[in-house]
Amino acid sequence: MNEKRTIDRRGFLGFMTWAIGGIISAGFGIPAIAYIIGPAARKEEEQNWIRLGSVSKVELGTPTLFKTEIERQTGWITNKEELSFYVFTENGRDFVALSNICTHLGCRVRWIADQGQFFCPCHNAAFAKNGEVISGPPPRPLDQYPVKEEDGQLFVLGGG
């Protein structure tokens, strides 16, 4: 029983139409699926160290304001964000980084050298040099961030 099956012209053209359509669909479909699923499948970086600046800018015992700009990506949206930190050291080796955002209403705090404390103008809140609440309505101390020093540069972890 040797039967040879022949494909007529109509069958061949139908097969080729479906094959070309499948190739075109795959060409568009695979990148589209990767685009949709890609941001969700991406892993968040475990440690995001943000460069602040030179160690030499920090005077002993005086909080120094550092400002930096970062880009945050959420899905397909990229936002630029300015972050500010007060960094101080008592011995030149161990650094402390504090957020300059008040924990009450999110106002910017500033260092008042005459009084040796941080001041928030929104509700006259005051914070000690280490970020602890001295007076006013803030519910908790200023946020503190881990700091590292490499090759004369300061880096802060996260910052968010």
The residues spanned by each domain of the chain are: 1-42, 49-157
pLDDT tens, position by position, 101-134: 898 888 999 999 889 899 998 888 999 988 899 9
Q: Which residues contact 137 (CB under 8 A, 6 or more apart)?
A: 104, 123, 125
Pick from 95, 91, 123, 92: which is nearest to 109 by CA? 123
pLDDT tens, position by position, 36-55: 887 677 665 455 888 888 88
| 115, 127 contact by CB (below 8 A) | no
Residue type, 22: G
What CATH topology corresponds to 49-157? Rieske Iron-sulfur Protein (2.102.10)
Strands laid side by side in the 110-112 sheet: 110-112, 117-120, 125-127, 133-135
